[in-house]
Structure formats: structure tokens, C-alpha cells
Structure 1
Amino acid sequence: MIKVTITLEEDVLQFIDQQAQGNRSGYINALLTEHRRRILEAEMIAALKQDAEDSEYQAEIAVWDNVVGDGINARE
């Protein structure tokens, strides 16, 4: 863990204290972790949508799908 100093508005700190149940750091970490998860999820969805709309990429995937299903079994 790394300690940092931040400046908060007084009303924001009061809100944090009301919600944090005595653990400001834990509460702020949980909020930021969830926020980061949502951002990463949105970025992944956007990338998947972009891939789905890219006809050249989809054609390449179709070629690889044919290779995967060619009956070669790497375990044998």
C-alpha cells in the first residue's frame, strides 16, 4: 500500500465519513476499484463492438475458425 495525501471538499469528507463506517481508506479504495472495473468493462465492450463492425477482421477470424475445425488434434 502507498499512502497519499488528498484534498477534499468538507461536504465530501462528511459524506465519506457517513458511508465509510470508520474506514475511509477502505471505502475510497472500494469506490475506485468499482469505478475502474466499470471503465475497463466499457472499454472492452467498445473494443468488441469495433471488432464486430470490422469486416476485414471478421473475415480473418472466419479463416482461423476454418483452421481450428480442420480435424487436427494437438494431443495426438
Structure 2
Amino acid sequence: MATKVTITLDDQVLDFIDTFAHRQAATLKIKPNRSSFINAILSKYRQELLQQELAAAYQRDAEDSAYQEEVLAWDSVSGDGIDVL
């Protein structure tokens, strides 16, 4: 679903969008217009932020000894009862 919005941009930013929306349309596999370009760029940025947040969370988990002990405890019992069927 898409929602139409109105935003205010600096002239230089709008010039950049207009230039690159057409130039990058084929590379980004988008329509050569402002909306598609802004949506593609923000979607990519959002994905990059999510990946950074996940990497930071994995790093925190790797450094958390209590969490690692819990993982080992669960790993030692994760196969219990599988052959019961």
C-alpha cells in the first residue's frame, strides 16, 4: 500500500533526486520518478539499519555469558524426545 504525502526539500536535494531518479532507475529496477527513487533509497537505508541492529544484537548475545550458558543448556536438551515417536 502506498500513501501520498507532501514534503518540503531543499532545492539541492530535489535536484539530486531528479538527476538520480532517472539515472539510477535501471540499476535500482524502479520507475524513473521521484517517488520510486525516494522509496527505493529509504527502503535500502531501512534494511541497512536493520542489519546493523541485528549485528549489534548478535554481538551483545555473543558477549553475554549468561545468555551463552542458557544457549548451551537448551542445546544439550534440544534433541530429547525426538526418537520417541
Q: Quick check: TM above 0.5?
A: yes
| Consecutive unaligned residues in structure 1, runs of 5 or more | none
Deviating beyond 2 angstroms after TM superposition, the runs of 4 or more aligned structure 1 residues are none
What's the RMSD between the two structures over aligned residues? 1.5
Q: Which amino acid aligns with 1:2?
A: T
Structure 1 segment 1-76 matched on structure 2, within 5 A: 1-21=2-22, 22-70=32-80, 72-73=81-82, 76=85
TM-score normalised per structure 2: 0.81
Between the aligned partners of 2:78 and 2:69, the Cα distance in structure 1 is 14
Count, aligned residues: 75
**Percent of residue pairs identical:** 49
Query: Which structure is richer in relative contact order (CA contacts within 8 A, separation 6 or more)?
Result: 2
